[in-house]
Chain A
Amino acid sequence: MLHLLGVNLPDQKLVQYALPLFYGIGQKTSLKVLASLSIHKSCKIADLSEPQVNQLSSLLSDMKIESDLRKEIRANIMHHRSIGSYVGRRHAMGLPVRGQNTRNNAKTARRLNGRWLKSEKREYSSSTRSAIPAPDSPFASFFNRSWF
């Protein structure tokens, strides 16, 4: 088991299919990495020599992967939120961002959108969840009404 930049790469896996285990590397970038290091496609993690592993780790540390990439994505979405744009509001509400219909079929957006903001909030908010909805949440105007 090769431990590289926070990810465990199993020894018997082909390098070509082990590299996409990194967040930010897919099939295409994996092949590009192999090509630049002259690693043949049927090379397994266990077959990599020490200098090759060092070359691989230095090449990967130059690429934007894992936590760096996650920070960038979160920062992009937080930017929309902080300037109060439509895109930001849709991310916060967990609804489709790019103008899709919501009468039917918005399941993926409802499931996945907004997770970048939730984790952001979790990081900066206090340990106990507040029962009062935060002022900028979508239901603030409903819950904070003094009349019903």
Chain B
Amino acid sequence: MASRMFNTPLTRTAPQTLAARARTLLPTQYANYVTASAVVMAGGKAKKASAKVKQQSNSFRKKKVEEEDKGEGGSGGAARLNEKYYKAPTPVKVEEFLPSTATKEHVGQVLGLSSGVTSALSQIAYPTLLSEQFDLIKPAALVVREKTVDLLEKIDASMKTPSADNRIVLTGESGAGKSAMLLQTVSHCLNAGWVVIYIPKASKWMNSSFAYNKVPNTTNFVQPLLASTFAGQINSANKDVLSKIVTSEDITVGSHQIEKGTPLTQLLETGVKYQVAAQDVIEAFMKELNAQKEIPTLIAIDEVNTFFRPTEYLSQDAKPLDPEQLKLPKLFLNYISGKNSLNHGAVLSATSDSLLAQKSEVLEVALGVKSVSPYKSFSQTIAPWTQGLTRFEVPNYTTEEAKGIFDYYKKANVFFDAASESLFMSKFITSNGNPRKFFTSCAKGI
């Protein structure tokens, strides 16, 4: 009896096997068992949730987020995307695109926009689709093409000639690189010390997104806020150059007096400060640029087809306004058409196919891009502005240029396959060398 007493255990519980003890200690998770696929799905949902948030906040980024969803992995703005799932874009080391590097030897090299240029263009947005690419692959870089070198030679030759003799329009199929070539010219001229007036989205001037007021006793309208922001953009792009040019006479803009000898930066700042006077400030500014003969001017306009078709604004009779009835577009229409001319400089424009509804048939016929029946009548108010424009065709990539950009995409982790000759040829042929299609074929693996 005593032995039985000593043999009974102190605890009341029955002796358990190891497995049974383990089961009691660990909580039963059978219902909440997480599979590997569930983790991936959760990651996908997080991606989609973050993507949805981005879509709601900024609609033009939708395309880019969808591209990244397709599984590139390596590229993308890491500041916006979940770092758990997206690596930051590896900035590629590129040399700078300078006037010295715009030669035939450098054709096929991808050169980055110099820091001076990017800071000058900080207040001016890049063209829409180009800016999406620059957000994707850092730093902003463009390939030097044969046609770029030809164009830059033409622009350099125009340095001492009036702008009415140098009115070039870049044409080409959609995605051929017109805006990119315009941007390269802008960068080249900024580095060379020209005064550059760059308008990346002329459609915004005409699509009724800025307030407009009628000028009393005329049929013209003025856009004060647009003129004011534009003056600020010119000022920020050319600060150093403009601080050296001074006004040649006393100027009265509205109720403000600008004395003779003030630097043009101050003139433009008056326009930024006082919206009402901004239009007169810009007109006076263009006159002052003409008054001096040392520094040439480049007027670079993208989406120029919106200058040659009715705008979205309405007159007081509810009829669409022509661009010549808006004072700021008319000012530049005079320079594009040669009615006004700068002493030294060029007017370079590029058409845009990304806005299909904004194509200008008048311009295309005048440039010889499109041929229509000779019996077709065109608007007599718009057709006269298209005389005397020189057409500069922007073709698709040559093999050399495409190879250069292909190596650049590989370094920037746009795609992860081994960069072989056969892969390059398949992408080049399927996209027919079209730069935009080549990029999507590299990025999306199509």
Interface residues of A (CB under 8 A from B): 31-32, 34-36, 38-43, 47
Contacts and interface: CB of A to CB of B under 8 A. Distances in A.
B329 to A, nearest CB: 14
Contact residues of B: prevailing secondary structure: loop
A36 B319 CA distance: 10
Interface in B209-239: 209-214, 221
Nearest to A41: B208
A84 B262 CA distance: 83
Interface of B: 208-214, 221, 312-318
A54 to B, nearest CB: 16
B211 A34 contact: no
Given A31-B314, A40-B211, A47-B211, 8 more contacts: A34-B314, A35-B316, A38-B212, A38-B316, A40-B313, A41-B208, A42-B208, A42-B209
A130 to B, nearest CB: 51
Contacts of A40: 208-212, 313
Contacts of A32: 318
A128 to B, nearest CB: 51
Contacts of B317: 35
B318 A38 contact: no
A42 B209 CA distance: 5
A38 B214 CA distance: 7
* Residue in A38, A39, A40, A43 whose Cβ sees the most chain B Cβ within 10 Å: A40
Nearest to A52: B211
Contacts of B313: 40
A38 B318 CA distance: 9
24 contacts: A31-B314, A31-B318, A34-B314, A35-B314, A35-B317, A35-B318, A36-B318, A38-B213, A38-B214, A38-B221, A38-B316, A39-B211, A40-B208, A40-B209, A40-B210, A40-B211, A40-B212, A40-B313, A41-B208, A41-B312, A42-B208, A42-B209, A43-B211, A47-B211
Nearest to B208: A41
A36 B214 CA distance: 10
B149 to A, nearest CB: 41
Contacts of A39: 211
A43 B208 CA distance: 9
Contacts of B221: 38
Nearest to A31: B318
Contacts of A31: 314, 318
A42 B203 CA distance: 14
Nearest to A48: B211
A36 B209 CA distance: 17
A31 B212 CA distance: 15
Nearest to A43: B211
A93 to B, nearest CB: 42
